[in-house]
Amino acid sequence: MSLGLGMKLPRASLVAAALAITLLATGCENAPWNQPPKPQAPIIVPVAPTPPPNPNKTLLGTWQASYPGHPLRVVVSNDQLILGTNYIATLADHTVDIPAGSTVFKGKPDRNVPNLVVGKQACADSGYTNVRWIDATITVVDVNTLQEQLVHPKECKGYPRKWIRVVNAPVAASPD
């Protein structure tokens, strides 16, 4: 057999060469660099769970507190003079014993109990005389109900007090 170059090769050599080229070509097809990539398992990035809302950070707004005699409106805001969450409650209604605008409670969320606010309650005698600050706690029952208690209940009359959120008042979360 002639390849057209003036060379004569035996038929067996041609068959062997063709077989070698065929094996080489099929071997390259199965080589790792010619294979499609194997599918990999998706990478799952864990997401930190969202912590439950802290109920003692929902005090901002207008409340109706059950003071002795009749309920009075109290506005709870964040004390801008102190960094962090520090509540200050001022009386919105005027009475004979307590003038409107008076601070009646100061406190901050308890670090360990999520529905507790610890602070001080203003206690005064008739005519807003002999004003003193008594240790008190506010327990957040839900976003619309608070329960205030004095640490030493006999220091001031009329406790425990229940606070109910005034309807249509904004429910804002306190800043951290």
Assess whether pLDDT exceeds 90 at residue 133.
Answer: yes
Are the CB atoms for 79 and 88 separated by under 8 Å? yes
Q: Which residue has the higher pLDDT, 3 or 122?
A: 122
Average pLDDT taken over every residue of the chain: 79
Asked: is 55-165 a CATH 2.40.128 domain? The reply is yes
Q: How far is CA 172 from CA 55, 57, 145, in A?
A: 11, 8, 14
Q: What integer is the mean pLDDT of 147-153?
A: 91
pLDDT in tens, 11-43: 667 677 776 676 666 655 566 666 777 788 888
Q: Which residue has the higher pLDDT, 104 or 31?
A: 104
pTM score: 0.62
- For the chain, domain boundaries: 1-36, 55-165
